[in-house]
Structure formats: structure tokens, C-alpha cells
Structure 1
């Protein structure tokens, strides 16, 4: 685990301000949901992503498909976007 050198106090309502540099690095915007996990004596925060969300478009549709043993979820549009990116990357390498 790596320290970013920032210490925050919990206010009287139990809130903690997350530094903007951290939010930018993790692509956390205003109103995004954060999940809390406990790992021994550690609190782990993670940007919440609902199950079944397309990694490319952020859409949740009944047509979303799982790939890579369930590690990658893509909508039809997301799959098309990813395929185009892969084809372009392969073209550039040849």
C-alpha cells in the first residue's frame, strides 16, 4: 500500500474530504457512488460500478455480454468500439 501523504480528519458528521488529485487519478466525479470494504484493520474505498455495466460505454443493457471469463462486460456498441480500437492498434504495429 502506498501513502499519498495526505491526512484528513473526520468531521462531526463522520465525513472525510477526498483530495481532488486522488479523485482525478481514479476518475471519481461529483455524485459518483463509492463502495466501502474492510480488509482486517484497513478501510478500502472503491468507485462503485454496478454489475453488468459496459466497460466502454457505461451502459447497462439486456444485450451486454461477458467476455474473458466474466472479467470484461461489453454492450454491443462497446464491443464495436473496442474492436475498432484493437484493429487500429494492430494496423499501427504492422
Structure 2
């Protein structure tokens, strides 16, 4: 990933503004959830995508009782219940 070369200042409340060109490029809209990750001394912003609580997969994830579970884990649980 190449740096975009955009500099923004942090305001009094700790906020930064993502430039419209970046929001458009990465399809980020007002109200979209953003995940904040830390790797070493880097802060990374990503569009939030739910992950399975069991295996961390982001494929075929569905919400169940305020938790996210993927289809593969659901199938595994179904197999355990039907033994």
C-alpha cells in the first residue's frame, strides 16, 4: 500500500477528517463503521467488515444474537448437535 501523501491535523477532540477523494476512492460513506488497527507504530483505518467470532473468517458471515458467525462454523456446530 502506497502512502497517499495527505496530511491532516488532529483537532481538540482527537478527530481527523478523511479527504473526500479518499472516502470516494475507498467507498466510505457518512455513518460507515471504521476499524482502527495498530501494527507497531502504525495506525491503520479500514472499512469495518464483520468477522466470525470462532474462526475470524469474513466469508459468508451472518449475525446471530449480536454475534457474527460464518457458514462453515455454523455447519460445524450443526454437525455437533446432530451427532
Please give the range of the TM-score, normalised by the shorter of the 2 chains: 0.5 to 0.7
Tell me if structure 2 keeps the 8 A contact 1:35–1:47. yes
Question: Which has more strand, going by share of residues?
Answer: 2
Give the structure 1 partner of residue 28 of structure 2. Answer: 28
Question: Which has more helix, going by share of residues?
Answer: 1
Q: CA deviation at 1:49?
A: 1.1
Q: Which runs of at least 4 in structure 1 moved beyond 2 Å after TM superposition?
A: 51-55, 59-62
Aligned partner of residue 24 in structure 1, secondary structure: helix
Supply the distance in 2 between the matched residues of 1:38 and 1:17 (Cα, whole angstroms): 19
Q: Any residues of structure 2 matched to 1:23-62 within 5 Å, and which?
A: 23-51=23-51, 60=62
Q: Which runs of 5+ in 1 are unaligned?
A: 67-94
Q: Which runs of 5+ in 2 are unaligned?
A: 53-57, 65-69, 73-83
Q: CA deviation at 1:3?
A: 2.1
Matched residues, number: 62
With the length of structure 1 as denominator, give the TM-score of the two structures.
Answer: 0.54
* Aligned Cα root-mean-square deviation (Å): 2.4
Aligned partner of residue 38 in structure 1, secondary structure: strand
**Residues 25-80 of structure 1, C-alpha deviation per residue, up to 9 Å, x if partnerless?**
1111110010011111100111001136777xxx8467x745xxxxxxxxxxxxxx
